[in-house]
Amino acid sequence: MGEIVLYGSIYSRTFTARWILEELALPYRVTEVSLRKRHQKSPRFLKLNPMGKVPALTDDRVVVTETTAICLYLADRYGLGSLAPAPDDPRRGPYLRWAVFATAVLEPAIYMREQALDPSGVGWGDCDTALGALESALSPGPWLLGDGFSAADVAVGAILSVAMFAGRVSGRPVLEAYNARLSERPAYKRAAEANWPPPPS
């Protein structure tokens, strides 16, 4: 295994990448990218991610950006059969569906809710439908794939957790219970402590 380097910043979506790394118990090094100093727009960082956003991850000579892609890559390479169903596992399709749902549907549905957009004209639909679909998937519980926690829970759970903290999702008992289960995971706690340290006094 080559060295894994996580390029990220506190108080950012770097949380998702930290969480999956912690779930997999992988050794990794963090290179801080200061958003305040706009290091994410530096020529050096733009070679890693032309979008100029964190997180980015390197695994030896492999570069991965986008939080869901980082989750899928790491789970396939280091957690296949545990955090990622194998390709011939019937749970593989639902797993990929919910992992992609995280940033392709859930995140824009939550954060674009106030925009005057026709839900039928955008790929993510409306917020209530997205949250309802997620609740339906969790009705057997406790995780998106039933009894087995997976990287899809990391991808979806990270977005849901931040949205709930920000007050953008509330009054949803099924999702609140899911978020409570996620936040009790030791890997979640370690990632949260690193990503959201208390402000200096």
Q: Are 3 and 57 in contact (CB under 8 A)?
A: no
Q: Per-residue pLDDT averaged across 147-160, rounded?
A: 98
The CATH number of whichever domain residue 122 belongs to comes to 1.20.1050.10
Domain boundary among 49, 79, 109: 79
Question: Is residue 57 scored above 90 in pLDDT?
Answer: yes
Mean pLDDT of the chain: 94
pLDDT in tens, 65-87: 999 999 999 999 999 999 999 99
- What's the whole-model pTM score? 0.94
Please tell me whether residues 15 and 68 are part of one structural domain. Answer: yes
Question: With pLDDT > 70 as the criterion, what percentage of the chain qualifies?
Answer: 96
Question: Is residue 120 scored above 80 in pLDDT?
Answer: no
pLDDT: which is higher, 184 or 112? 184
Please tell me whether residues 70 and 98 are part of one structural domain. Answer: no
pLDDT given for residue 74 in this prediction:
98
pLDDT: which is higher, 47 or 123? 47
Whose tokens are 């789970």? That residue is 75
The CATH number of whichever domain residue 36 belongs to comes to 3.40.30.10
The alpha-carbon radius of gyration of the chain (Å, integer) is 17
Instruction: For residue 85, give the amino acid letter.
Output: P
Does some domain include residue 159? yes
Domain boundary among 32, 56, 79: 79
Q: Are 60 and 18 in contact (CB under 8 A)?
A: no
Does some domain include residue 26? yes
Domain boundary among 38, 57, 79: 79
Q: Per-residue pLDDT averaged across 164-181, rounded?
A: 96
Does some domain include residue 86? no
Please tell me whether residues 96 and 72 are part of one structural domain. Answer: no
Q: How far is CA 11 from CA 16, 35, 127, 179, in A?
A: 11, 9, 24, 19
pLDDT: which is higher, 121 or 56? 56
Q: Per-residue pLDDT averaged across 36-58, rounded?
A: 93
Which residue range(s) make up the domain with 145?
Answer: 92-188
Q: Alpha helix locations (H) across the chain?
A: 14-23, 43-48, 67-78, 92-101, 107-111, 127-138, 151-165, 173-183, 186-195
User: Would you tell me how many other CB atoms lie within 10 Å of the CB of residue 104?
Assistant: 14
